[in-house]
Structure formats: C-alpha cells, structure tokens
Structure 1
Amino acid sequence: MSKSALPLLFSALSVVLILSGCSKSPGTTVQEPATGEPAKPAIQTEPVTVTIGANPFFLTDEELKKYVADPVKKKYPHITVVRSNDMPKGTQTVEEMVVNKNIPDILVDAPYALMKIIGLGVTQNMDDLIRKHQFDKNRLLPELIDSLKTATGLDYMVSLPFYNNAFGLFYNADLFDKFAVSYPTDKMTWEEIQKKAVQLTREEGDKKYIGLWAGDAMWGGYQLGLPYLDKEKKKAMLDTEDWRSVLALWKSLYDTQGALMPPAGTNYEQLFFDGQVAIAFGHMGTLQKLRETNPFNWNVFTYPSNNKAPGFGQRADTYNMLITQQSKNKDASFQVISVVLSDEVQLEWSRNGKMSVLKDTSIHNEFGKAITAFQNKNVAALTKAKLQVIQPFVYDYPTLPVIRINTAFNEVLHQGKDINTALREANELMEQDTKAFLK
C-alpha cells in the first residue's frame, strides 16, 4: 500500500522441582507435574542464540529489541535473540537465504508470502510445538488463525501471528469545520459516508476538494471475504453477483467526486496529506505517517460497514513468525514466540500503535495510548471492526487476480465500460491464467 500472560508451560515455574533419582541432561530442568496434570516438557537452560530473519518493514531494529529480545531475555536469561546476519538491512530475500544455506531459526513474513516460503521447504508443522509447550491458541483472535490456514490451504499451523495491520477511514477535521459538516463516527455504513462525501466535495477558487477516497475496489471484496478462485474446480470467480455489487458500490462512492474526479492513476493518499481529500482509506502506515507529519487536525473512525457484511471492516492482515524446519533451536525459538504473544508484550505492542492478535478487548482498548501524538484521537477505532478471514489472493500468475479486479473497476470508472462487461472480461483473462499456470 498494521493487536493468562504466558503459555501454561511457564506459568508454574514456582513449583519446578529437580526430580531426585532421575537422570537429566546438563543444562536442563524438569518440571514435576501436579497430580492429574500432563507432564510439562523439559526446559533447556544452556545459553542459546535464536536468529530471526525479518525485513525491517515487518520488524524494525527498535521493535526487535523492545518487543522481542529484551522481554525474552527477561523471561529466559539463557536465550539471546538477534537478527540474522543475512538480513541486517532487509535486502536478503528468503530465497537467497535458502540458496546460501544460512536459514535463521525464525522467519517473519506476511500471509501473501507463505505459499512461496512453503515451496522453499523451510516451514514445518508447528502444531507439535504448540502442543508440546501447551500454548493456548484460543487466546488469539480465531479469524487470524483461520486466515493463516486458508492462506496456505493447510489444516495445520506453519506460523503464528504476532500483530495485525488494522484499517479504518481517516479524516481531515479542518475541512469538516471549514464546510460545517459534522464529523463521522464509528460504525457508520458506506451509504452514510457517501452522503458526507457529497457535502465535502466542492471547488473554491482555484482549489478542489474531494470528499472521499475509498481505496481500490479489491478492498470492497476483502470486506465481504470474496474469493478470486475456486481452486478445486479451477474456475475464476470474478464474474459473480457479489463482485458486481462491490463494483457498483465502489462506483457510487467515486461518483460523489463528480466533475472534480482526478484522472486515473492519481495519488489520492498524497492529495489527502496535501489537504485536498476530506476522508481517506488508510491503515497502520497511514497512522504512522500522520504521527510523523501531523499535516492538519486529523482523526479516524471504524472502517464503514457493508450491508452484506454488517460489522465487518477489512480482512485480517497479520505479520507472522514461523520456526524453520532447519532450526536447531526449535524449543527456544518457540519460547521466543510465546513471549512475543504474552499479554505483557501484546499490551506494549497495542499501547504503541500495533494491533494485538489477542482476543482480550482490554488490550485493544489501550491501542496507541503510549503515543503522545495520538492523545485525544480515536485511534482505537482501528481495532474495533470485525475482521474477515483472508481469502487466497496470490497465485503464480503473470497478472494477479487483485490487478484484474482493480483494472476492471478503473475501466468502469474512467472508460465508461459497464460493470457486467468489465467483470466478464476480467474473469475470462483470469480463466486463461488459471488453465496455463494453475497446477
């Protein structure tokens, strides 16, 4: 173009006993189970270094230290976490690491890259480690877990999410004041936003003001959880009534711009930061940019609801940690992930403007509260809408399905093509790709 403190394995450290008469390897403590409880795994205490391969776009050096390395060292003094030497600046791809045979213990990536990573043979079934360490997945938002399984097509976990990119609509309060329009609020519908957009779109002197930028049409599909492909039948699914309704809605939103509509390819985000767009689609990156630049009096509200999916905002968009099958420190690596997913660390993520992946609403309510620039801002709205389970959207095609949809919409909006024709043609092109490239 973004949400019981620790796993049960570690919650009873106070009752750890060294079993008399039992042999154990050096550097290992064994936990004696209480009557009727399953035995807990041995905990290695020998010094170990866990390497993380993470592009700084997903995990900066500051974040790695604050939310990973330092809390892990506090909980497990024998574990040291470092960024992989092959990814100090985010220039080394996963493919290059595999070729160089220097694969880290933990990889950080987004759902769209999981299929490629799986194809490189570096992932593993993490369910075994989840069970071994008695990690409670039920603490996590279920749609995030479901999204990772859907994205991979697997019935087991190859990674765990550690924060989620959140979405909402941002607005320029100065323009609302200038034109005497009431501010938008949480839980509004697209139709309600559309009415405000009409009130805000106008021309004054040599200045043009656009009421609303809703983002690309693909976001309308994500909100409804629409698939691009029936993989079992190997059939494209762009020419459907649901997609027609999305393009019709999106056209109505852009039609509010009337004669002031900029040409195709316009950078609406820049227009928003330049003070020419009143309401703009945005996400965590938008929030960070507003924090850094503070170009005007701004605020944010929940992603508007589509009547076909009441209460839903955008799709899940997680950043995830996976333990590589080549790792020689799998248990220590899982302990690292378990600390990152603890209530304490997730609360710190939330307070500093990253959406927690946990269910706990008290953590989400703290979103952004540690950041001075977010005081008196409705930033917690980014965490309030329900998340759609992600549908697979990356295929080894020369043209991605999202590009097909966005192109079809642009043809409707800027070339006057009717929606039925645009979707039919997009579907036919995707069918050709499916037959040629889908194995």
Structure 2
Amino acid sequence: MFKPSNKSVAVSSCLALAVLLAGCANTGGGTSPGSGEAGGEPAAAPKPPTEPVELTIYSAGGTQREEFNKNYGDYIAKKFPHVRVQYINPRDGDAFKFENLLLMGVNVDLYYESIGTFFSTLPRTKTEFDLTPLIKQYGVDLTRFEPTLIEALRQNGQGQIWGLPVTTNGMSLYYNKDLFDKFGVPYLKDGMTWEQVYETAAKLDRKDGDKTIAGIAVSPSHSTRMNPYSVPFVDPQTMKATFADERWKSIVEPILKPAANANYRAKMDELEGKLPYSGEWLTKQELAIFGVFSDWQVVSPTPVPFEWDIAAYPTTKEMPGVGSQQYPVYWSIPKTAKHKEQAFEVLNYLVSDEYQLELSRRGGMTVLNSPDVKKAFGQNSLNKHKNLAAAYYNKFAPISPKTEVDKTAENELIKRLPDLAYGRTDINTALRQAAEEANKAIEAMKR
C-alpha cells in the first residue's frame, strides 16, 4: 500500500505526489452508465466486474490510516479480493489536498466527507456526480435508509443524489451514575423533556469537597448544528445568517440555562471562562450530564473509570418525540473517477445490511432504518449492557440545509456563548451581533 512522505517541504511533497501518480497509473475499469431515474421496478443488478482493479479512496476529514483499514479497508479487501485499495489522507501534506490532486490529474474513485462540508466541496471542485443511474442499475432501494439522510441529499444536491450515507450520528445524554448515586438523584430516563432534565441537573450543581460539580453541559457545536428545529446557520437563498429567527433562543437554551446556577459559573471560572466540556465529564468527573454524539464512548476501546449510562436526547414541548438531527458522512464517486462501476460496487456493499450490521455491532450508528440493525448497536463493544437503544429512541429531525459559509456563521455564535453564560450580554444583543458580523464576513468572502 502506498505510504506518502510526511515531510512538509515542497520538494518532498512533489516527490510523494509523483509516486502517487505512478501508483495510480493502472486506470482500467468501468465508466458511468446512461441517465435515468431511481424508482419503479429496479433492473436486475449487473454482474459485478471481477478484473483486478485499484480503487483510490479519499477521506476529506483525514481519517488515520489504521482507523480507515479497521473500519473500511479490511472489510473491502475481504469482500472484494480483486480490489486493491489505495487510501489518500490529506493530513499527509498539501500535495494530498483534494484540489491539488485534481490539478495534478490524480484519480480518486471514492470520496467521503461529513455533511457539514460535503455539499460545498463537490460543487466547488466541480466533481459532483449524480448516482441516480447507478442506483437504478444496481437496484439500490433508497427506502431502506433513514429518510432524513436521503432527503438531505436531494435538498442539498438540487434533486440529484451525489452520494450515499455510510455512517451517521445523533445526539444523546451521557451521565455519571456515580455522581447521581452520591447525591441521591434518580437516573435519567428516555423520553424526558428539557425542563425535566434541567430540574435533574439543578440537583447535581454543587460543591463536593474541593470539587465544583456542574449538572449539565452540551457540546455547543453539535447541539447547534443538529438542532431539533432544523434551523440552518445560513439561509441558502439569501446567504445571510439566520440568527434573527426566534427559534435560536430555544436552540441555545440548553447551553445557557444551566449557567444560571452559581456552581456552573464557578466551574467556568476554574476553566478560565470556558464552558464545561468532555474533559470535565470523562477525566475530571466534575460534570454529571454531557450532551454529545451518541456513539461517543460506545466505540471507545478504553473503559470509562466510573459507572455511567446513556439516555435519549431531551425533547421540547413544541416538538414531542423529536430529538436531534443526524450528522452523516456521505460517500461519493467524483465525476472524474475512472472506475465508477467498481467504486459503486464497493459503495453498495458499505450500505448493505451485511456491512451495516457489522458497523452497528462495533458501535457505529447505522444509516439504515432496519430494526434488527439498530438493535445490534454496540453489542460487540465493551458497553453492550448500557442503554444503547437510547440513540434511536426519538424520531430524528430533518437535516437543515447546508452552505459553504455555515462555519463562518457558527463561529460568530459560538464565541459569544461564554459572555452569555456569564450574563455579560443578553441573548437579543448576542444574536444580533452574531448575525451582523457573520453577514459582514460572508460578504467579504464573496468579494
């Protein structure tokens, strides 16, 4: 397998890229089928090509090679002995950034990226490719998937299907049972509202010897990106920040309402003005409840050094039974790919019941709506006895539209949260200022 140089100097990067180009010289393989629409009576799947082929897979997020092989590469090699996978990681140097590979004519057959930037990268690089004909040709049933994942593809791809979801995530509450037991507080249950969780957290906000315990904190980025109201950071029609929408006050409430407690603010003082986060829950055991990705500790190979469990993400009174949005990773076949049919064969396997069941057992959330696959979540992990079904307890909210400037708006909001938590500014002022600064930055980026 190709192993790129880690040297950062330009000459070394160019030499490494030259080796990569040489490794990609074997380009035989299939091309894209004709146009068509998914749906109706699927045609019989074509006989998969079995000639030896080298497929190049690119991870926009920079998955480490060992992790890629453990989660994908080894499974692909076992399923398709005729396929040799070459993996490219952009963290290996600037020469391995997707845009630079395209400029040098390097072939990429499969490209995967999280939803936050997937729908901006493909149009920017002019590599979007509608999989609808291949979906029809291979008889892929899109109704097998969690509906919001496919809806997001169509919404953000102007009706086209630029990829398929292979992995995903939702939000859940992790809680420290030892702290609950110590203070005599009943455990969290699935189906709780935010108000009920706030009441529980208030009983855990306290001093414990020389420790300051915070009752609850949620990941600001995850909870805002995956908010239950499906409000985007930026309106894709106007390309303006959406913070004038009154629903943002409710979206940031789980981040700010706990800060009304003096012990929570004392914890922020200890953290030099930062909001409590994962380290306070996992390492210091000074946070009782933490809202974060559902698979956060399920997939960890290291046992957590205290008793803990998971509960379903809280719901609002306005939207009972609706939890967070999902945050999927989509796999695409770039327009420039030289082995489109072989790449789709691999992608079709990664969304199959066979692979998704293995993924679920390891502790990854499935993209399918199969009850059996969901039930297997984490059953091969160290945490199979936890309340892992909480990850699927609620209905998922529709995924909000995405733009290439979402991060700009998100940053303007997130950086104001500490001042809001301390009461140095009010919510109306903070949201107005965040919108103004985000819009200025977006306009500057346009120019």
Equivalent of 2:277 in 268, 284, 287: 268
Contact 1:189 1:304 in 2 (8 A): yes
Q: 1:93 to 1:103 in 2, by over 3 A?
A: same
Measured against aligned partners, the alpha-carbon deviations of 1:122-152 in whole angstroms (never above 9, x if no partner) come to 23111121112221111111101122333x3
Contact 1:305 1:312 in 2 (8 A): yes
2:83 match: 80
Measured against aligned partners, the alpha-carbon deviations of 1:314-360 in whole angstroms (never above 9, x if no partner) come to 22211121112222211111111111111111111101101110111
1:417 match: 425
Contact 1:394 1:400 in 2 (8 A): no
Task: Check if 1:331 corresponds to 2:323.
Answer: no
Aligned ranges 1:232-243 → 2 under 5 Å: 232-243=237-248
Equivalent of 1:316 in 318, 323, 326: 326
Aligned ranges 1:10-89 → 2 under 5 Å: 38=43, 41=46, 43-54=48-59, 55-56=62-63, 60-71=68-79, 73=80, 77=81, 79-84=82-87, 86-87=88-89
Structure 1 residue 303: Cα displacement: 1.0
Instruction: State how far apart, in whole Å, the 2-side matches of 1:104 and 1:363 are.
Output: 30
2:383 match: 374
Aligned ranges 1:131-146 → 2 under 5 Å: 131-146=136-151
Contact 1:218 1:405 in 2 (8 A): no
Contact 2:167 2:328 in 1 (8 A): yes
- Give TM-score, length-normalised by structure 1: 0.82
SS in 1 for 2:220: coil
Instruction: State how far apart, in whole Å, the 2-side matches of 1:217 and 1:357 are.
Output: 22
Q: Which amino acid aligns with 1:427?
A: A
Which structure 2 segments of 5+ residues have no match?
A: 1-29, 31-40
Mean CA deviation greater in 118-127 or 250-259: 250-259
Aligned ranges 1:204-215 → 2 under 5 Å: 204-215=208-219
Task: Check if 1:124 corresponds to 2:134.
Answer: no
Aligned ranges 1:117-196 → 2 under 5 Å: 117-150=122-155, 152-196=156-200
How many residues in Structure 1 have an aligned counterpart in Structure 2?
Answer: 397
Q: 1:40 to 1:293 in 2, by over 3 A?
A: closer
Contact 2:164 2:331 in 1 (8 A): yes
2:23 match: none
1:97 match: 101
Aligned ranges 1:288-299 → 2 under 5 Å: 291-299=301-309
Contact 2:310 2:390 in 1 (8 A): yes
Q: Which amino acid aligns with 1:206?
A: D
Contact 2:218 2:254 in 1 (8 A): no
Measured against aligned partners, the alpha-carbon deviations of 1:226-264 in whole angstroms (never above 9, x if no partner) come to 122333234432012111233345422332445534132
Structure 1 residue 175: Cα displacement: 0.6
SS in 1 for 2:274: coil
Task: Check if 1:287 corresponds to 2:297.
Answer: yes
Instruction: State how far apart, in whole Å, the 2-side matches of 1:396 and 1:238 are.
Output: 14
Structure 1 residue 93: Cα displacement: 2.4
Q: 1:198 to 1:135 in 2, by over 3 A?
A: same
Which structure 1 segments of 5+ residues have no match?
A: 1-26, 28-35
Contact 1:94 1:117 in 2 (8 A): no
Aligned residues: percent identity? 27
Mean CA deviation greater in 303-312 or 167-176: 303-312
Instruction: State how far apart, in whole Å, the 2-side matches of 1:198 and 1:391 are.
Output: 31
Measured against aligned partners, the alpha-carbon deviations of 1:6-43 in whole angstroms (never above 9, x if no partner) come to xxxxxxxxxxxxxxxxxxxxx9xxxxxxxx98565454
Task: Check if 1:404 corresponds to 2:406.
Answer: no
1:31 match: none
Mean CA deviation greater in 176-185 or 426-435: 426-435
- Give TM-score, length-normalised by structure 2: 0.81
Structure 1 residue 301: Cα displacement: 1.0
Instruction: State how far apart, in whole Å, the 2-side matches of 1:134 and 1:346 are.
Output: 18
1:348 match: 358
Contact 2:174 2:290 in 1 (8 A): yes
SS in 1 for 2:112: strand
CA RMSD between the two structures = 2.7
Instruction: State how far apart, in whole Å, the 1-side matches of 2:149 and 2:293 are.
Output: 17
Q: Which amino acid aligns with 1:424?
A: R
